[in-house]
Structure 1
Amino acid sequence: MAALFNCWPALIHFFSIFSFFLLFPVAFSDELQTLLSIKSSLSNPTTNVFQNWEPNTPLCKFTGITCNSDGSVKEIELSNQKISGFVPFDKICSLTSLEKLSLGYNSFSGQVTDDLNKCVSLNYLDVGNNEFTGSFPDVSSLSELTHFYANNSGFTGKFPWNSVANMSNLIVLSLGDNQFDRTPFPEVILKLNKLNWLYLSSCGLEGEIPEEIGNLKELINLELSMNYLTGEIPSGITKLKKLWQLELYENQLTGKLPVGFGNLTSLEYFDASTNNLYGDLSEIRKLNQLVSLQLLQNQFSGEVPAELGEFKKLVNISLYTNKFTGQLPQKLGSWGNFDFIDVSENSFTGPIPPDMCKMGTMRGLLILQNNFTGGIPETYASCTSMTRIRVSKNSLSGVIPAGIWGLPKLEILDVAMNEFEGTITSDIGNAKTLGEIDAANNRFSGELPFNISNASSLVKIDLSNNQFSGEIPGSIGELKKIGNLNLQYNKFSGSIPYSLGSCVSLSDINMANNLLSGSIPVSLGSLPTLTSLNLSENQLSGQIPKSLSNLKLNLLDFSNNQLTGEIPNSLSIDAYKGSFSGNNGLCSQNLKNFRRCYGEAGKPREWYTLLICLLVAVIVVLVSFAGYLFLKKKSSKEHERSLKQNSWNTKSFHILTFTEDDILDGIKHDNLIGKGGSGSVYRVQLSDGTDFAVKHIWTSDSGNRKISGTTSPILGKPGKKSKEFEAEVETLSSIRHVNVVKLYCSITSDDSSLLVYEYMPNGSLWDRLHTCKKMSLDWETRYEIALGAAKGLEYLHHGCDKPVIHRDVKSSNILLDEFCKPRIADFGLAKIAQADSTKDTTHVIAGTHGYIAPEYGYTHKVNEKSDVYSFGVVLMELISGKRPIESEYGENGNIVTWVSSKLKSKESVLSIVDSSIPEAFKEDAIEVLRIAIVCTSRLPTLRPTMRNVVKMLENAEPCRLVGIIVSKDDGSNRTEQLKDHTKM
């Protein structure tokens, strides 16, 4: 008995172990079923992450699953796996031992539910970089969390500060890039004294940064950028001695860098760009660990501290658009793998630091619009890593080192408005990636090298206002991507190369004020995208080619040459008034101030032509009568056969109330309402009075086909559809939005393509603002048009399965219904955004002059921010009533530069507003102008998304209190209240 009593503890231990092993399979089985249920809720078409999540596989061997020693699930690691679907948080949180849940960088949607509160053992939670909707739930029960990532996942509503209050163990808190409601800096965060990583960029923070930020002494990273923060940078920040990165850019901060800022000796990355900071950089001189210094678009002044020249880790510095003076430290960037410098738009003087590319890693030299002197140092001629050199608008002189013309990775060479001399050397043939040369307004001379054609990526050449001479090399016709060619005000001689007609991407040719002779090449008439042609002030002779009638030119100028003969009728219009003056040998049947054209017999040409027409008519009548009986018998059969030869295919995207024949019967000249570069648009009315707009797409080769008794030009080979047609159908067929034009169906045959849209009776916004169809638009209507169009673009960018980039946003592509409600239209250039934006590149000009974002000319990258810029131009049109390009803006000017020149005072700002807008609403227009200015920021990263644009416009609803920052005469800023009443 005693022996049994002595064994009792061992027996208890045995039975407890035995019970555990009896129960373990049950618990194991439950967790296995839970994981399989989670798998069934998710979708992963592109990777094999769930391939081994099968019933016959031990759950601890599932991809992404880590188990405890007892076999229970400890971690789920599924980040960056391209998974979509709704996350079943209720099932996940039934895994009671779960300590880590990592779902970041996927495409999860739906809401994060309150079930997340049941994951009480979590110490690591990552749901960031997904596509969730709604507010983030209160998860205050997750008190064990040390790492909390919920950034960039589409969350809205109130900032989840209640949750954070109980998370005293947090080391990492990342809630940025969500559209939370505006909120002051949450005080509860200031009590999380273990934090070393705080990411709250772009999440609706407003007001001042609390002084108590200095309590978070463990911080190594503090990111508060792209919010609505005001006031000065608090001195408390100077207590964060461990700080490695500080990001404050795109706020409304003011004042100087706080005293003691130089104590942050561990700081490597500092960005306070796009604020209203001022003062000098004396506090920076001690920060010798800096790798990146970004203070662009502020009001800093004084000289750059000489100590920066000794910073051995510094690889990039951006100080553009400030008020700096003096010289740059000459040793700047000479110690390490320097990357780029941008100090444009200041008042720097002296020479360019010579050794920034000493290690052969420099990519960008941007110093434009300063007072630099001397030349470009010879050292940069061997800087093969360089992609951008922009030194325009300085006082630089001398000869550009020959090697610079041929740097193998160079994309932009901008040396305009200096005092450079010498020639463009034959090294240019090595510049395989060069997209833009701007050498205007210098003293360059000599001939263009014949091998300039080897620089095959060139999109823009501007050599205007120099002393170049000799003939324009015929090899220039090999530049298939060239869009802008400006050679005006030089001494070029000889003839215009016929090969120029092979430059199929040309949109702008300017060869005015040279010594060119010979005739205008007939080949120019075949350039499909040419919109501006200026050959004035030369010695050109011969006739104006009739082939130019094919062009749709915004600008045409042949004045002051020696041209002779008849001006083609299609060019004899008021739009080209003055384009032919100074050519005494020209005649015209239509234009005043030109002599009438005469035929060979001395009779007026119209009588000569009439006589010929009468003779031809008589012959036609005789021939027709001779075959009348034969044709009469066969006419009905032939007509039937011609219709049968067309095999039509209809694809409908909405319920149709019409047939193919209903549409085909309406494709005739009497119904033509518009004509563009890719086809014609007809208004087709059904028997019940319903109207449709039918777009007839043209493709590449000409031909004719008879449709319902009307001969229509159909451009395209049999069976081949135009890229514009394919793009428009692909884009519009799946779109359903009140502010995007509705595509009912496509009707195609072997040689014809038709798109049937809803009809917009008020035409385009361009028509209503700028043409003879102009109508009075009150401010409320303009505002509603702006907001509706913005919502349409927002849907394209954010509401489709894949973002759609329109690429040709302009007022003529915003159509208005009978109530002036807008629809985004014309998707012929639209592009589905690619996951890798670096591939989203084109060398063909996509868009319309005056609306194209500035970066497009040299990066060739198209993304959503390109559309945002174009929409900003449309807003400026709505506000000012002016066109994007007008002569009053000056040479190379546009509405964006014109608006910028008016931001000097309240009075000049108000002068931007269309005079037809009543005084009571002008301040409301100014509020929208502020949005337009942000949309047209030079840097794409500074432009808002269309989602943010919509929110800003909604906040700018008429009759709200507005204010705008204007510059005073002394260079400082102040905020002016432009309206003293608020919206009721």
Structure 2
Amino acid sequence: MAAACGNERSIILFVLLLWGVGLYGTRARALSRETMALLSIKALIIDEGGHLDSWTTAGADLSSAAPCSWKGVACNDSQAVVSLDISGFNLSGSLSPSVGLLSSLVNLSVACNNLSGPLPIEVTQLEDLRYLNISNNLFNGVFPRNFSMLRQLQVLDAFNNNFTGELPLELSLLTGLEHLHLGGNFFSGIIHPQYGNLQSLRYLALSGNGLTGRIPPQLGNLQNLQYMYIGYYNVFEGGIPAEIGRLSNLVRLDIANSCLGGTIPPVLGSLTNLDSLFLQTNNLVGPIPSELGNLTHLKSLDLSNNRLTGTIPAELAALQKLELLNLFLNDLHGGIPSYIGDLPNLQVLTLWENRFEGLIPQHLGRNGQLLEVDLSSNSFTGPIPPDLCKGGKLKRLILLRNRFYGPIPAGLGSCTKLYRLRLGENQLIGPLPPGILALPYISLLEAPSNNLSGTLPAHIPISSSLGSLDLTGNNFEGPLPSSIGNLRQIVDLYLSDNRFSGSIPEAVGKLRNIAKVSLSGNMLTGSMPLALSKCESLTSLDLSRNRLHGEILPQLSNLNVLASLNLSRNNFSGSIPSTLTHMVTLTSADFSFNNLSGIIPSEGQFANFNHTSFDGNPLLCGRQVSCKDVNILNPSEDVPRQSKSLIYGMSGLVVGLFILTVGAIVYVLRNERDKQFLWSLFKVNLLDKRWKLTAFERLDFNVNNVLYCLEDDNVIGKGGSGTVYKGMMPNGKMVAIKKLPAIRKGALEDEDYGFSAEMQTLGNIRHRHIVRLLGCCSNYDTNLLIYEYMPNGSLGELLHGPRGGSLTWAARFRIAREAAMGLCYLHHDCTPMIVHRDVKSNNILLDSNYEAHVADFGLARTLHDAGKSESMSSVAGSYGYIAPEYAYTLKINEKSDIYSFGVVLLELLTGRRPIEPEYGECIDIARWVRKQGQSKKGAIEVVDARMGLGETSKMMQEAMLFLNVALQCIADMPDQRPTMREVVQLLTDIPKAREHVVSATIPHVSSPPDLISI
């Protein structure tokens, strides 16, 4: 087939050449050959933006129709095409082999488009080519050979494509090459030692592939090299070769996220021209070399997320140009040297999760340059430095989980750029600094578990930014001011365990975005304000342990998304409103220790509530207490006969009117024209609502373009998280639109879910294997999330649908690894880490090349402490994928995702769903595989027979190793599961490890955990 395709290309080029030679003279021949070559290139390109409209010979004499005036084309004095630059034109399609006819081409750039297919080998015929940029496209397949023919080539940029196979060895012959960027592809194998022969190289980027082996010491021969990027998803053995220290011209060295071991070579201190050194997220051990103090031009030093020990060397005081110092997630100890506060350009200082102690230099921040400081989870003590925001630039200050004492610096109250302040779990005293609640960008203000005191300001100005306020566990007192209603964007309000008194102001009804309210453990009095029933986004309401009285509001049933309600230990009286039984979202409720009376409802969710939810109410009956006289305990049950007749009559009237209305609509809709008329009226109403479009990248469409796609014919999916539509934008680009109710608009913090969780998660991250969120539209009723469209749907639909049998082992293995890389990014490269909480095959989407993208972040949570569990109010996720400890204890951490991913791996391997009747009662795929695979034969039999691997094939050996990875992921005890980074590594190692497979028997797996041991 390949030979046939090659012959076909040769014939096309030959015909074009004959056509040009046969029609024109010498100069005309050259012009028409290039003209026809360009028209051939255009013919294989989809140009929806019309950028290539000038590429036409209509109305022109071909003998003089030189293409030099065409957009993106440039010629030399002889009218020969020497430059073709069509980058950033939003083109799709493929690049024609006719590009090889542009024999004088020096510059070829097709970057930043959506071109796909293989890169034509004819490119290697352009002997004068010096600049080739094909970055940010979808080119795939093996990189063309014969690149050694391009001896004039100086720049080769193929960043962010889908090339596979090993790095091209032939490139090592291009001794004139100055810029080589092959990052963001799927190259495998090693970095060839011969790349050390590229003596002219100034820029080398191989990051973001799947390279293995050792970093060749021969790279130390690249004496002209200024930029080296070789990390991220490349997994190198050994450590950093000392020969890298010979690269005296190096300005930037980035070997982050590469599983590097060993120590940091002291010889790196000889790279005196370095301005950036990035070695984060590796397995480096030992101390920070004092020789790094020689890097006097250094601006950025990131050694975070390793296993470094020792103290911060005194020699780093010489780094007077340092702007960023990241040392978090190590095992460093000692104090912060005083010179850190003297660094004149320091902007970012992050030292969290180490064993640092002692005082912080009190002059830290006096340089007026600080943007971010995170010293959390250490043992620092003493006062917080007063001048952290002296320059007014500070944006993030995270000091939680230390032993700071004294007041919060007053200067933070005028820190106008500050948007995130976390001071919890210290020993701070005194009031909140004046003005801190009015900062224009403050979105998160946390100071729980301190000894703060005072009152909330009586006049809180209207705030459009504060999304989360947590003052839990302090000594605040006085009333809650009515001006609290000015916090219009507040989502989480935690004021529990203080000394607030007085009534809850009606102004809380203005908090239309509020999702969580916790006022428990105060001295609040009065009745429950009716305004609470207007907080339609409320999901959790905790008013427990106060002195509230009166009846429970029946109008709480208006809170359509309320999941948790705690009114315990107050003085509420009357009956539990029957309207609350209609709240299908209510999964947790506590009415204990009040003065309630009447019958405990047994309908709806109330049937699932534990009897302890109603303890301490002597006049309540219906659970463990018998109701001898229902009419006395619940007089509403004794309705007079006349009233009943009136009720029945009114009900009949309502039903009759409803039937008439439906009949009229049916009659009208018999006419197709009337349908269109009614639909147009609906759309006008829809478009007239106040919509806000938030874009996360440059968009070529508006809100109305999105709304017009919300038709039933465009529905491509429905589920608990919303309805998904497909739609074509005016530029021809397909998008997917998820429609959600307006639940959490504006949410910003840890317990977010639904619209807010997905928007905040996807809007702030970019990764090749995470579905891309383009933007969102919202009004008071509806939220719309707009994604890149995935034409091949979900892995679950493909795997378990009619086409599942055509999914080869190679494709399944690749999808597994790509999805693992996406989850690895969430767990290890996001700060704080993101736990997906709903990993399943239906949430892994496939693009046009069947590349995997993790999707649906409606249940995602951020965790600030890796490895530590956090409690949830209820179990969320999908049956068959939920980790056992989560189901038992409602506690999650990143290991919950890893269990779910292990189930996905079993799906890929077996071709079966997580739950199937043939497994047996109460048995899921995890237990079934363990049961079936206690022998070699049984292990092989669980593999999807549709793949036809054969019992002794190398692919079956890979499948058995794949099965072992899956079983490690679904270990019952969370601490026995690998990390997501280790999963990526295990999957990456499978092809080379298959040669060492000794047995295909599934190893022994521990029995389900004892509930007490969790």
Which of 471, 475, 478 aligns to 2:483? It is 475
1:737 matched to 2:740? no
Aligned-partner Cα distance in 2 for 1:158–1:696: 40
Which of 205, 218, 227 aligns to 1:221? It is 227
2:594 counterpart residue number: 583
The 8 Å contact of residues 961 and 979 in structure 1, kept in 2 or not, is answered as no
Which of 622, 626, 644 aligns to 2:667? It is 644
Map of 1:154-233 to 2, 5 A cutoff? 154-180=161-187, 182-226=188-232, 227-233=234-240
Which of 550, 565, 570 aligns to 1:561? It is 570
Q: Evaluate the alpha carbon distance shift between residue 640 and residue 584 of structure 1 in structure 2; reply closer, same or farther with a 3 A threshold.
A: closer
The 8 Å contact of residues 549 and 572 in structure 2, kept in 1 or not, is answered as yes
1:265 matched to 2:272? yes
Q: Which amino acid aligns with 2:193?
A: E
Map of 1:544-623 to 2, 5 A cutoff? 544-551=552-559, 552-569=561-578, 571=580, 579-590=590-601, 593=615, 594-595=617-618, 604-605=631-632, 608-612=635-639, 614-618=641-645
1:324-349 per-residue CA deviation (whole Å, 9 max, x = no partner) reads: 11222323264544321111111222
CA displacement at 1:248 relative to structure 2: 0.7
Which of 239, 242, 261 aligns to 1:235? It is 242
Q: Which amino acid aligns with 1:239?
A: R
CA displacement at 1:95 relative to structure 2: 1.6
1:362-393 per-residue CA deviation (whole Å, 9 max, x = no partner) reads: 21111111122222222224332111111111
- Secondary structure at the residue paired with 1:188? helix
CA displacement at 1:725 relative to structure 2: 7.5
2:27 counterpart residue number: 24
- Secondary structure at the residue paired with 1:246? strand
CA displacement at 1:486 relative to structure 2: 0.8
1:101 matched to 2:108? yes
2:540 counterpart residue number: 532
1:881 matched to 2:923? no
Map of 1:647-726 to 2, 5 A cutoff? none
Q: Evaluate the alpha carbon distance shift between residue 852 and residue 258 of structure 1 in structure 2; reply closer, same or farther with a 3 A threshold.
A: same
1:924 matched to 2:947? no
CA displacement at 1:539 relative to structure 2: 0.8
Which of 126, 147, 154 aligns to 1:147? It is 154
CA displacement at 1:143 relative to structure 2: 3.5
Q: Give identity over the alignment, percent.
A: 25
1:294 counterpart residue number: 302
Aligned-partner Cα distance in 2 for 1:808–1:263: 41
CA displacement at 1:70 relative to structure 2: 2.8
1:713-757 per-residue CA deviation (whole Å, 9 max, x = no partner) reads: xxxxxxx999988848x8799855254779xxxxxxxxxxxxxxx
Aligned CA-pair RMSD: 5.1
The 8 Å contact of residues 301 and 325 in structure 2, kept in 1 or not, is answered as yes
The 8 Å contact of residues 39 and 55 in structure 2, kept in 1 or not, is answered as no
- Secondary structure at the residue paired with 2:142? coil
The 8 Å contact of residues 835 and 863 in structure 2, kept in 1 or not, is answered as no
Aligned-partner Cα distance in 2 for 1:410–1:516: 32
CA displacement at 1:306 relative to structure 2: 1.9
Q: Evaluate the alpha carbon distance shift between residue 791 and residue 177 of structure 1 in structure 2; reply closer, same or farther with a 3 A threshold.
A: closer
CA displacement at 1:794 relative to structure 2: 8.9
Query: Number of paired residues?
Result: 766
Of 427-436 and 265-274, the range deviating more from structure 2: 427-436
- Secondary structure at the residue paired with 1:92? helix
The 8 Å contact of residues 45 and 95 in structure 2, kept in 1 or not, is answered as yes
Q: Which amino acid aligns with 2:517?
A: I
- Secondary structure at the residue paired with 1:250? coil
Q: Evaluate the alpha carbon distance shift between residue 158 and residue 954 of structure 1 in structure 2; reply closer, same or farther with a 3 A threshold.
A: closer
The 8 Å contact of residues 202 and 225 in structure 1, kept in 2 or not, is answered as yes
Q: Which amino acid aligns with 2:108?
A: L
- Secondary structure at the residue paired with 1:152? coil
- Secondary structure at the residue paired with 1:275? coil
In the superposition, the TM-score normalised over structure 2's length comes to: 0.66
CA displacement at 1:260 relative to structure 2: 2.0
- Secondary structure at the residue paired with 1:260? helix
Aligned-partner Cα distance in 1 for 2:206–2:556: 58
2:515 counterpart residue number: 507
Q: Evaluate the alpha carbon distance shift between residue 225 and residue 925 of structure 1 in structure 2; reply closer, same or farther with a 3 A threshold.
A: same
Aligned-partner Cα distance in 1 for 2:285–2:498: 44
Aligned-partner Cα distance in 2 for 1:899–1:534: 29
- Secondary structure at the residue paired with 1:448? coil
Which of 414, 418, 423 aligns to 2:426? It is 418
Of 515-524 and 377-386, the range deviating more from structure 2: 377-386
The 8 Å contact of residues 47 and 82 in structure 1, kept in 2 or not, is answered as no
2:761 counterpart residue number: none
1:275 matched to 2:253? no
1:340 matched to 2:338? no
Of 110-119 and 489-498, the range deviating more from structure 2: 110-119
Which of 313, 321, 331 aligns to 1:323? It is 331
The 8 Å contact of residues 296 and 319 in structure 1, kept in 2 or not, is answered as yes
Aligned-partner Cα distance in 2 for 1:927–1:675: 27
Aligned-partner Cα distance in 2 for 1:587–1:675: 38
Of 74-83 and 370-379, the range deviating more from structure 2: 74-83
Aligned-partner Cα distance in 2 for 1:933–1:106: 44
In the superposition, the TM-score normalised over structure 1's length comes to: 0.68
Q: Evaluate the alpha carbon distance shift between residue 274 and residue 934 of structure 1 in structure 2; reply closer, same or farther with a 3 A threshold.
A: farther
- Secondary structure at the residue paired with 2:397? strand
- Secondary structure at the residue paired with 2:388? helix
1:434 matched to 2:434? no
Aligned-partner Cα distance in 2 for 1:319–1:238: 22
1:592-612 per-residue CA deviation (whole Å, 9 max, x = no partner) reads: 5544569xx997258844541
Q: Evaluate the alpha carbon distance shift between residue 622 and residue 323 of structure 1 in structure 2; reply closer, same or farther with a 3 A threshold.
A: closer
1:774 counterpart residue number: none
1:186-227 per-residue CA deviation (whole Å, 9 max, x = no partner) reads: 233122233222111012111211222222222222211111
Q: Point out where structure 2 has 5 or more consecutive residues left out of the alignment.
A: 1-23, 603-610, 622-627, 680-717, 724-737, 744-776, 802-811, 826-833, 846-855, 865-874, 900-924, 935-962, 1006-1014
Q: Which amino acid aligns with 2:31?
A: F
Q: Evaluate the alpha carbon distance shift between residue 323 and residue 112 of structure 1 in structure 2; reply closer, same or farther with a 3 A threshold.
A: same
- Secondary structure at the residue paired with 2:339? coil
The 8 Å contact of residues 193 and 217 in structure 2, kept in 1 or not, is answered as no
The 8 Å contact of residues 232 and 256 in structure 1, kept in 2 or not, is answered as yes
Q: Point out where structure 1 has 5 or more consecutive residues left out of the alignment.
A: 1-20, 652-673, 680-694, 701-719, 743-758, 761-783, 798-806, 815-821, 828-845, 856-871, 902-912, 938-942, 964-976
- Secondary structure at the residue paired with 1:307? helix
Q: Which amino acid aligns with 1:555?
A: S
CA displacement at 1:638 relative to structure 2: 7.9
Q: Evaluate the alpha carbon distance shift between residue 363 and residue 623 of structure 1 in structure 2; reply closer, same or farther with a 3 A threshold.
A: closer
1:361 matched to 2:369? yes
The 8 Å contact of residues 486 and 510 in structure 2, kept in 1 or not, is answered as yes
Of 247-256 and 133-142, the range deviating more from structure 2: 133-142
Q: Evaluate the alpha carbon distance shift between residue 698 and residue 194 of structure 1 in structure 2; reply closer, same or farther with a 3 A threshold.
A: closer
- Secondary structure at the residue paired with 2:108? strand
